[in-house]
Structure 1
Amino acid sequence: MEERSKVFVGLDVHKDRISIGSAELGREAGRVVGGIAHDVPKLSKQLDKLGGPARVHVVYEAGPTGYGLQRALAAKGYECEVIAPSKMPRRPGDRIKTDRRDCVQLAECSRAGQLSAVWIPDPHDEAIRDLARAREDAIKTRQQQRQQLKAFLLRHDRRYSGKTAWSKTYYRWLGELNFAEVAAQTAFTEYWQAVQAGDERVQRLSQALRDAVVGWRFESVVAALQALRGIDVVNAVGLVAEIGDFSRFEHPRKLMAYLGLVPSEYSSGDKTVRGSITKTGNAHARRLLTQAAWNYRFKPRIGERAQQRQQKLDEAIRTLGWKAQLRLTRRFAALVGRGVQINKVCVAVARELTGFIWAVALRATPQPNART
C-alpha cells in the first residue's frame, strides 16, 4: 500500500448507529462522512467508497458491542483496530462531545499515531472469558441473596450462635428454622431457596470452567499458575482469560500498569506526589489478584490440595511458586507491622504477585508469540 493513498477512518459505534469520519494523510482536518445504521453490509459500502481494504485503516473505541464489528471487517480484508477509550487524547478545554466530533477525532488521532489498540481475543478465548465473567456475576448475585436472607433473619431476631456463616453447620441451622406466621415462613423459604439456587449456579459455572480449560491453548499456563498461593484452577482460568498471551508484555511492570496496580503520580520540578493506584485496564483480573493476595497473610506452607495441583509441574515452576510465597508472606507481614492499612497491603502484595504470575506464565507458555 502506498502511504500517500492511505485513508484513516474513525467509527463512533453504538448499538443502533455508526457515525463515520475520515482523515487523509497530511495536515488537513478530518471530515464527517455520515451516519448509518449498525449494519456491516452498509458500512462496507461506505468504506468501499473511501478506497476499500487496500487503502482504508479503520479504528473504533472498545465498548459494549464487543469485537463482532472488528472481526466482520477483518474478514472482508480491512485493517481494523479497537482502541482503548481510557487512552484517547483529550483536550483539557474541550467541553463539546458529539458522535460526529468523536468519529473525526478518532480518524485524526489514528493518522497521528496517538491511539493504543486493545488486545482482541479469538472467539474461543472470548468464550472462556465470558464463562469466567458469568461465574463472577453469579457470585455477586449469590452475595446479594445471602445478604437479603441475613437481613430477614435479623428483622426477626434469629441469631446464629456459631462463629462462621455459610458453613455446613450454618446451613443445617437454616434448615431447622420455622416461623409462626405463614407469610413469614413463605418469605423465609423463598429467600432460602434463592440462596441454594445461587450456590448451585456457582458450582455449575465453576465446573464448566474446569471442563473448558481441557484442550485450551493456554491449558499449560493455567496449570502452572496454580503453583502460586491463592490461585486455584478457577482463578487461574479467569486470569488467563482476561490477560491472554502474557508474552505480549515485555516486562512485568507493563503488566502491572495494564492491570491498574501502579500508583498514580503528579510530579513537577523537584516535587513528586504519588497517589492511589490508577485502576485502569482490566478490573476483573485486578479483582482476582487482590483476592489471591489476601492469602499471603498466613505463614508460608504448601497444603495438601496445593501439593496435588503441583505434582505434574516442572521443578522450576514449583520453585518459583515457593519463592513467591516466601517473599510475599514476608512482605505482607512487614507492611502490616508498619501499620499500613490492610487494603493497601493487599494491593501492594497483588502488584508483586503480578510479577511472579508473569514469570510463571512465560515459563509455561509452549510457543510464546513475538512480543509487541
Structure 2
Amino acid sequence: MADYREAFVGIDVAKLRNAIAVADAGREGEVRFFGEVDASEESMRRVIRRIATKFDRVYFCYEAGPTGYGLYRLIRSLGHECTVVAPSLIPRKPGDRVKTNRRDAFALARLLRAGELTAVWVPDEGHEAMRDLVRARAAAVETLRVHRQHVSAFMLKHGRIYPRKKGWTMRYLRWLQEQPFDHPAHQIALQEMVEAVCVSKERVDRLEGVIEEFVPAWSLAPIVRALQTLRGVD
C-alpha cells in the first residue's frame, strides 16, 4: 500500500498545443512541468498513456472552453478520471494577473490535488448535438430579428406606416410589395431586405423542423414535452 502512487494532471488546453503539469500525491508532492504537446487526439493519447504508466492512478483536469469535451471523452475512454473545470470558479490569489500556459497548467494540477476545483456538467454526445442544434436555431432567430428590424427602419425612414397592428403576416408582406418609390434604388433595396427576411425565416423553420424530428430520441424528451404543456411554450 505504501508504494501506491497517484498523480494529478493539469492541462491548459489550446487550439494547437496543450501545456501539461503533473503533481504527485501528498501535501509536499512534487509538481513538475511535463511540457507542451500537440493538441491532436493521437498525440494526447500517447501522452496520457505515457503519464499513466508511471502511476497506479491518475486524475486529469482542464478548463471548460471552446475546445469542447473531446479531450474529456478521450481520457475517460482510456480508463482515467477527468474533471472539466468551471473557469469562473477557479480559486485565484489576489494580485495574480500573470497568465501563461505553463503557470495555468501548474495551478490546475495543484488545485486538483487539493480538491479545490468545481466541475461542470459534461453532456453526452447526443445531448451536445441537440445543444448545438438549438444554438443554431437561436442564431437563426437573431438573424431574422435583425433583418426584420432593417425593413422596419427603412419603412419608417420613408414615412411608410403599416395601418394594422400585427406585422410580418402574409398581408404585411403584400403591403411591403405594394409600396411604390420614386427612385428604383429604393425599390431594389427594399426587395433585397425583404428577401433576406424570407430566407432567414425559412432557415428558422428548417431548424425547428429538425429539432422536432430529433426530440423523441433525446434523453431530455420527457422534460421538453412537459414544458410544452405550459401556455406560450413550444
Q: TM-score, normalised by structure 2?
A: 0.91
The equivalent residue for 2:66 is: 64
Aligned residues: 232
Among 65, 78, 95, the alignment partner of 1:93 is: 95
* 204 and 3 in structure 1: CA distance in 2 versus 1, 3 angstrom threshold: farther
Larger of the two Rg values belongs to structure? 2
Contact 1:47 1:56 in 2 (8 A): no
CA distance in 2, matches of 1:61, 1:2: 32
Do structure 1's residue 80 and structure 2's residue 55 form an aligned pair? no
Match in the other structure for 2:166: 164
- The Cα RMSD (Å) is 2.1
Instruction: Report if aligned partners of 2:4, 2:56 keep a CA contact under 8 Å in 1.
Output: no
Q: Higher RCO, 1 or 2 (CA under 8 Å, sep at least 6)?
A: 2
More helix per residue: 1 or 2?
1
Amino acid paired to 2:18: I
Q: 1:215 to 1:42 in 2, by over 3 A?
A: closer
| Residue aligning to 1:41 | 42
- Which residue of structure 2 aligns with residue 24 of structure 1? 24
Deviation string 1:18-58 (CA, Å, 9 cap, x unpaired) is 11111111223522211112112222333333234852211
- Assess, with a 3 A threshold, how the Cα gap between structure 1 residues 128 and 42 changes in structure 2: closer, same or farther: same
State the match for 1:152 in structure 2.
Answer: 154
Measure the CA separation in 2 of the matches of 1:185 and 1:98: 55
Letter in 2 for 1:216: W
Does the aligned pair in 1 maintain the 2:48–2:75 contact within 8 Å?
no
Structure 1 residue runs of 4+, over 3 Å off?
A: 1-4
Deviation at residue 213 of structure 1 after TM alignment? 0.9
Q: Given that residues 4 and 25 in structure 1 are in contact (C-alpha distance below 8 angstroms), is that contact kept between their aligned partners in structure 2?
A: no
Shift of 1:5: 0.9
Alignment CA distance shift 1:54-1:213 (3 Å): farther
**CA distance in structure 2 between the aligned counterparts of 1:102 and 1:142, rounded to whole angstroms:** 41
Letter of the 1:136 counterpart: A
Tell me which of 185, 188, 191 is aligned to 1:189. 191
Q: After superposition, where does 1:7-22 map in structure 2 within 5 Å? A: 7-22=7-22
Query: Deviation per CA, 1:238-281, whole angstroms, max 9, x where unpaired?
Result: xxxxxxxxxxxxxxxxxxxxxxxxxxxxxxxxxxxxxxxxxxxx
Matched AA of 1:192: V
2:15 partner amino acid: K
SS class of match (2:217): coil
Residue pair 2:5, 2:56 contacting (<8 A) in 1 also: no
Q: Distance in 1 between matches of 2:103 and 2:157?
A: 54
- The answer on 1:180 being equivalent to 2:182 is yes
What residue identity is the alignment partner of 1:24?
A: D
Q: Measured at CA, do residues 151 and 65 of structure 1 come closer, stay the same or move farther in structure 2, by a change above 3 Å?
A: same
Name 1:239's counterpart in structure 2. none
3-state SS of 1:213 partner: helix
Tell me which amino acid in the other structure corresponds to 1:13: V
Q: CA deviation at 1:4?
A: 4.8
> 2:37 is matched by which residue type in structure 1?
I
Q: Distance in 1 between matches of 2:214 and 2:91?
A: 39
Q: SS in structure 1 opposite 2:35?
A: strand
Distance in 1 separating the partners of 2:22 and 2:73 = 20
Native 8 Å contact 2:21 2:106 kept in 1: yes
Amino acid at match of 1:205: L
TM-score (norm 1): 0.58
Shift of 1:92: 1.6
Instruction: State the 1:68 CA deviation.
Output: 1.1
Q: 1: distance between equivalents of 2:205 and 2:52?
A: 52
Q: How far apart, CA to CA, are the structure 1 residues paired with 2:3 and 2:182?
A: 81
Residues 258-277 of structure 1 aligned to structure 2 (within 5 Å): none
Return the letter of the residue paired with 2:206: R
CA drift of 1:3 comes to 9.2
Deviation of 1:152 (Å): 2.0
Mark the runs of 5 or more structure 2 residues left unpaired by the alignment.
none
Instruction: Give 1:144's aligned amino acid.
Output: V
Among 195, 203, 206, the alignment partner of 1:201 is: 203
What do residues 106-135 of structure 1 show as CA deviations (whole Å, max 9, x unaligned)? Answer: 111100111111111111111111111111
Q: Percent identity?
A: 45
Does 1:51 find its partner at 2:52?
Answer: yes
Question: Is the CA contact 1:10–1:22 (under 8 Å) kept in the aligned structure 2?
Answer: yes
Q: Give the gaps of 5 or more residues in structure 1.
A: 233-372
